[in-house]
Amino acid sequence: MHFNKTTFIRHTSTQNLTFNLNISFTNMLRSSLLLCFIVLLLVSCSNERIEGSFTKEELAWLVYDKGDTVDFYSKESGEIQFIVTEKTELHQVSNKFPIEAEVLLESDHHNLKFKIYLLKDQYSFKRYVRLNHIYRPLDLLKPVETKKIEGLNFFNVYEIEESSKEETFIQSASFNKQNGFLEFTDSTGVNYIQKNLSESNSPSAYYVLFEK
């Protein structure tokens, strides 16, 4: 039998080429499938919504309801009224945590604005207050156990003295969880007290509001 070496080599080379092409195609297919799986996984994760919620006790820090009016008076300068213009008890910032809630009080007097703001994620619950522009973390403040205002006792009251050198209308204020904003003092030293205050019955709540 006559053996053609050239034909054998050509045939073998063709087989090797076909084999290599099959391997390359298989690897490419596997890579494509893996890439598709990763993309689908990322899309699935991005659409995953981790639902969060505030407890009733946490939302109690918002104190007011939309439409409420909060009146302050001083013997020297009369009254200043705030109106609760906004209240949001749950807002999901994105598809995942954090969640937030807030209440906004506004006054025509010097265009004053008070806000209580809550922020919560999977690991923590934070409380902030804002007067006009600057948010302050209330968790860093230490409350006064008992404060007497107009002969009434209020418990767990946060007080803030405005230390900014900028000209601001409010220089200090007090706030607790049961009554909201108790009083504030303006830049001339005039003290405004919330009207219709009722004495706290137990030391259960707090916070203070202040100046920007």
| C-alpha separations of 135 from 70, 117, 151, 158, 197 in Å | 21, 8, 31, 15, 26
**Model-level pTM?**
0.67
d(CA 142, CA 57): 19
Taking residues 73-78, what's their average pLDDT?
A: 92
d(CA 184, CA 132): 14
Model confidence over 43-73: pLDDT tens digits? 444 445 556 789 999 999 999 999 999 999 9
pLDDT above 70: percentage of residues in the chain: 64
**Domain assignments of the chain as residue spans, ordered by start:** 1-48, 56-194
Q: What is the pLDDT of residue 119?
A: 94
Give the long-range contacts of residues 24-32, CB within 8 A, separation 24 or more: none
pLDDT above 90: percentage of residues in the chain: 36
